[in-house]
Amino acid sequence: MKQEVRRTVQQTAENVPPTQRVSVSIHASDPISRAGVLSQLRQYPEIVLADHARKDRGQVALLLAGTVDDAILTHLRGLVHTDGVRVVLVVDRMREADLLDVAGCGVTSIVWRREATPARLLRAVLAAHRGDGDLPGDLLGTLLARMGRLRGDTPDPAGIAAVGMAPREVDILRLVADGLDTAEIAVKLAYSERTVKNALHNLSSRLQLRNRAHAVAYALRAGYI
């Protein structure tokens, strides 16, 4: 039976032009989880698995994580901004406050690990490759509600389309405006210096701001600080 399935997949793959196949690299700290995802995606003729040994980046990177922390955000930014690939984040759990951070890294496709069936992963990979968004329904609702609250609390200044800032970003920018450096902000807010730097980097990337002074000026004009 397994041989018949393999033969069918192979025959189907031969009918899919190479130009229509998506090269996917799998990133996971747990080799067992990585092997499981490889097994799930290998059955689809639309997918070509990147050669991990040769550090092939692929067109889409699928990153498995338990939670979203500074290390994961750094990894996401590296994949998107340095390697230039689209990313699907498969995660166990995520706080509401993490959503804007992940979006600021350029990630638009997220899958709960508990929902990561082969068909669900395929859909997310193809959506990421097209540049489309693909979020779980509960995360999409949370994101829309969060953006709505941010917009509702902040009047749009004339000629400027306000883009939501996370409360953490606003707190940091207030201290930047007061003249504090990264180390002083970290102490004041009980964050690590990396967290402060990551928050400012995400904000600058998302809003296309050139530097800290530009970020403070934008926040002032938008009514955040």
Cα angle 125, 71, 173 (rounded to 5 degrees) comes to 105
> Alpha helices, DSSP H only, in the chain?
2-14, 31-41, 70-77, 98-104, 118-130, 137-153, 167-177, 182-189, 193-207, 212-222
Q: What's residue 102's pLDDT?
A: 85
Q: What's residue 114's pLDDT?
A: 94
Q: Whose structure tokens read 């690939």? A: 85
- pTM, to two decimals: 0.62
Q: What are the distances in angstroms from CA 111 to CA 62, 71, 131?
A: 10, 19, 16
Mean pLDDT over 181-198 rounds to 90
In the predicted model, is pLDDT for residue 199 greater than 90? no
| 181/203 Cα distance (integer angstroms) | 17
Look at 29-33, 117-121, 214-218 and tell me which has the smallest mean pLDDT: 214-218
Mean pLDDT over 53-82 rounds to 88
What amino acid occupies position 123?
A: R
pLDDT classification of 75: cutoffs 50, 70, 90? very high
Q: What are the distances in angstroms from CA 18 to CA 14, 15, 48, 84, 126?
A: 9, 9, 9, 21, 15
Look at 10-19, 61-70, 122-131, 151-160 and tell me which has the smallest mean pLDDT: 151-160
